[in-house]
Structure 1
Amino acid sequence: MHYLAMSFVSSFQKMANADRDHVAIDMEEMLANAQPLFTTECCIYEVPYEIRRLNEDAYTPHLVSIGPLHHGDPKLLSMEGHKKVYCQYFLKRSREISLDNVVSCLRELEPRIRRSYSKNIELGVDEFIKVILVDCGFIIELLIRYYNFMETDHDIIRKPWLLEKIRYDLLLLENQIPFFVLEKLWDLAFQSSLFNGDNSLSLLELASCYLCPTERIVFESSIRVAHFTDMNRIFCLKPFKRNLLRTNEVPTLHYSASELHEAGVKFKVNREEKSLLELKFSGKCLQVPEIEVDDGTETWFRNMVALEQCHYLEESYITDYVIFIGHLVNEGKDVDVLVKNKIIVNRLGFSEALGEISW
């Protein structure tokens, strides 16, 4: 009876469509299948052209692809073998799960993972799961080996130049996997303690040891990060007082550091605050937190700014800071003023090189 009813409805629809314009029918089907470009779960973005064109290299991985956006790039294929080896080590390291368990977990999470990307991912379900699994296994194993340095003898961890290149690739906005996926596999794999009976170390703290190595960070349990670019931004803001109201006005500074110095303004490094954003001006003294500048600093900041422009428009504090520093530093003599006052730790060598950074 149900079959006859369905057949009748189908026949009725065909008769009704016979009197309609075929373009209207096609449009109806096309619009019914349309998907929104962004969802509330979206957190990983292709950098918009208007931002990317200023420095293409700052947003593009140079050594290793993570996630689907740069997967298959011929320039990055040399690392695929290393990623698979590390994924294999990760799976062997855990006594809690099997490969079948991991695949089953990722298959369940697959729709949510896809919704984390601003771009429609054209990979099929099975291929998509393989990409995510290999990349997650590689990242977790890399973080473990970096933390537990003594267990390695001849691989990536023993090559500082390679570690640096991977570190900056892992902080690129387009080169991300949602953190909830990494955390899920971490929890599945290491339900019991991993490091000699110490199970207090979270994946977030482990990641910060490698990606933010200048200081050991203790994250509050309430902190949630979307991915590593987001983690980097949170690290830079912490413990910035974000409860202060932010206006929509772009911070302006009409004079460079050397011009302000010549006008009698004194520069002092602000050692009381750990956040880069804690700038203080009192009388004729400008206090600025210390910043270390090396080959990757521009890439580091550009990707946080790109994240803010796509995701945190109402809280674009890093963007404000970059605009401020960009006005402060125009040429080599501006750098000299800030280096002399210990505000900038210059790892680039020449002041002129730092002055040429496109903040």
Structure 2
Amino acid sequence: MAEATHTDMNQTNLASDESAQQRAELQRLLSSQPSDLSSNHFQQPHAEDEEINIDIKALIEISEDGLLSPLCCIYRVPTTIRHLNNEAYTPKVVSIGPFHHGDKRLQEMERHKEIMLKRFAQRAMTDLDSLVNFTKQSESKVRASYFERINYDKKDLVKLILVDSAFIIQLFIMTFEGRMIPDAKLSQSWLDNAISKDLLLLENQLPLFFLDELYNIAFPHNGRGHRPSFLQLTYSYFDYLNMQMFEPHLEIKHFTDLLRSCHLPRSLTRRSMFLPEVHNDILLYSAKQLEEVGLRFRSSSSKCLLDLKYSNNVLEVPRIRVDDDTAMIFHNMIAFEQCHYPHKHYICDYALILDCLINSHEDVNILIRERIIHNYLGDPSDIVRIFDRLSTNLTLSNFNTEYSDICGRLNHFARDPGRQMKRALKRQLLLSITGFVLNMLTLIQAIFSILQVVWR
């Protein structure tokens, strides 16, 4: 018992001594100056820490400011819409600009681009050094025209844009002058056609300001004579797009922008705020459903594809040719609008309306019957898929006020109780007639079966 008591007393004394030491140490720390606290309890940075600090500072110094250049107009197609039809955005025979440069599939045309550069240089009224120096001076502006960072040094980018620009200018001149036949490669009509399509792709562009300025350096105004301007050459090359006969004075940024501009009306309508989740004025009925309640469709003679009109229970829609190029043309215009015109997406609006009208092959057949759609694909289901993909994953911040008004009036027309009853009666009558015909066919078949037995 005594030993136990003695042991407890010793442990108590030890604990008291430890507590006293801890209090003394705490008092010393509290009474220390900040410099003492730093020197005693904070280690100096190790060499590894210093390297991290240096790397972070260097990263900040070389990083861009993240601001959008006013020259920016060429984009990679967003992955959210590219995966729906990757082929529509990918060049088939020729790469223009840095995005698809080096693609092994397109190397054959790289050799011919060098031939075209030689022809351009021989034809130019300026020496080659002047053309190269101008390209060097413009390199930073051309680089700023791309939304994505370009991983080419100045030397390589200058060579790329000069070769590609010379190819385009020489191609346009040869086409304008009708001198494609002597060219062993470009005289092939299929290749000429494929090149013209590749030049419309959003990812396959050079800024038009550079092409125009390089052309003016090569062919100065005072010595050009009757040679057209580069903008006139461009409109001549893409004349099949200019259905509205626009004069070559539009301010366009590149050939995809030209493609879009040729489809816009001469006077753009106002935009209204548009929230598809809650807004009533988005079309809720397909062509078949609208026709069932009494709406008539009529082919419009307007040259502007976006010129939809509705009056007196008639929806007028301009004729549209649907062929192998339709998906490519619309996909690239829509991708450009999604990137560059987020509040002026008139082509997206049109695609949304067409997607609302077309939900099945029956809807397509109605529009074909009324000569609104000229079908060059064959299967109406292919047309359904095209317009379904065009409006998938679109981001719309507002809506064309004219379209909003048309959609609201069509929805009101289709919801009319009298028309809904008429539609229901028509459907019931059709079902009754169909049932009657089936019953009669069954009866006739039974009679013939009985007669066959009797005749045996």
Q: Same fold (TM over 0.5)?
A: yes
1:212 and 1:232 in contact (8 A); partners too: no
Pick closer, same or farther for the CA change 1:36–1:344 going to 2, 3 Å.
Answer: farther
Structure 2 residue corresponding to 1:74, chosen from 100, 104, 111 = 104
Tell me the amino acid that sits aligned with residue 219 of structure 2. Answer: F
Coordinate RMSD, CA, aligned: 2.3
What is the CA deviation profile of residues 285-331 of structure 1, one whole-angstrom value per residue up to 9, with x for unaligned ones?
11112222211111111111111111100101111111111222233
What is the CA deviation profile of residues 242-263 of structure 1, one whole-angstrom value per residue up to 9, with x for unaligned ones?
2523433457322222332233
Q: Any stretches of 5+ residues in structure 1 without a counterpart? A: 1-17
Q: Which residue of structure 1 aligns with residue 363 of structure 2?
A: 334
Give the structure-2-normalised TM-score.
0.68
Which of the two has higher C-alpha Rg?
2
> Are positions 1:127 and 2:156 aligned together?
yes
1:294 and 1:348 in contact (8 A); partners too: yes
Distance 1:151 1:51 in 2: 37
2:241 and 2:259 in contact (8 A); partners too: no
> Are positions 1:141 and 2:192 aligned together?
no
1:145 and 1:157 in contact (8 A); partners too: no
Give 3-state SS (helix, strand or coil) of 2:321's partner. Answer: strand
Q: Which residue of structure 2 aligns with residue 158 of structure 1?
A: 187
Q: Which residue of structure 2 aligns with residue 247 of structure 1?
A: 273
Cα drift, residue 333 of structure 1: 2.7
Tell me the amino acid that sits aligned with residue 242 of structure 1. Answer: L
Cα drift, residue 192 of structure 1: 4.7
Give 3-state SS (helix, strand or coil) of 2:191's partner. Answer: helix
Pick closer, same or farther for the CA change 1:338–1:205 going to 2, 3 Å.
Answer: farther
Give the structure-1-normalised TM-score.
0.86
Tell me the amino acid that sits aligned with residue 232 of structure 2. Answer: E
2:287 and 2:363 in contact (8 A); partners too: yes
Structure 2 residue corresponding to 1:171, chosen from 172, 181, 200 = 200
Distance 2:242 2:146 in 1: 30
Residues 255-334 of structure 1 correspond to what in structure 2 (within 5 A)? 255-271=285-301, 273-334=302-363
Q: Which residue of structure 1 aligns with residue 261 of structure 2?
A: 234
**Identity percentage over the alignment?**
37
> Are positions 1:181 and 2:207 aligned together?
no
Distance 1:93 1:218 in 2: 30
Cα drift, residue 99 of structure 1: 1.2
Pick closer, same or farther for the CA change 1:116–1:303 going to 2, 3 Å.
Answer: same
Distance 2:51 2:60 in 1: 14
Q: Which residue of structure 1 aligns with residue 424 of structure 2?
A: none
Number of residue pairs matched?
A: 335
2:297 and 2:317 in contact (8 A); partners too: yes
Pick closer, same or farther for the CA change 1:154–1:100 going to 2, 3 Å.
Answer: closer
Give 3-state SS (helix, strand or coil) of 1:355's partner. Answer: helix
Give 3-state SS (helix, strand or coil) of 1:287's partner. Answer: strand
Distance 1:46 1:243 in 2: 28
Distance 1:83 1:330 in 2: 44
Cα drift, residue 40 of structure 1: 2.3
Q: Any stretches of 5+ residues in structure 2 without a counterpart? A: 1-46, 391-456
Cα drift, residue 118 of structure 1: 1.4
What is the CA deviation profile of residues 49-94 of structure 1, one whole-angstrom value per residue up to 9, with x for unaligned ones?
1111111111111211100111101111121112111222122222
1:61 and 1:175 in contact (8 A); partners too: yes
Give 3-state SS (helix, strand or coil) of 1:213's partner. Answer: helix
Comparing 174-183 and 154-163, the one that deviates more: 154-163
Cα drift, residue 121 of structure 1: 1.2
Give 3-state SS (helix, strand or coil) of 1:177's partner. Answer: coil
What is the CA deviation profile of residues 199-223 of structure 1, one whole-angstrom value per residue up to 9, with x for unaligned ones?
4x332232233334154744353x2
2:265 and 2:307 in contact (8 A); partners too: no
Q: Which residue of structure 2 aligns with residue 115 of structure 1?
A: 144
Distance 1:146 1:349 in 2: 32
Pick closer, same or farther for the CA change 1:244–1:156 going to 2, 3 Å.
Answer: farther
Give 3-state SS (helix, strand or coil) of 1:314's partner. Answer: coil
Distance 1:299 1:194 in 2: 39
2:172 and 2:234 in contact (8 A); partners too: yes
Pick closer, same or farther for the CA change 1:76–1:340 going to 2, 3 Å.
Answer: same
Q: Which residue of structure 2 aligns with residue 198 of structure 1?
A: 226
1:265 and 1:286 in contact (8 A); partners too: yes
Q: Which residue of structure 1 aligns with residue 40 of structure 2?
A: none
Distance 2:193 2:203 in 1: 18
Tell me the amino acid that sits aligned with residue 202 of structure 2. Answer: L
More helix by share: 2
Structure 2 residue corresponding to 1:219, chosen from 225, 247, 259 = 247
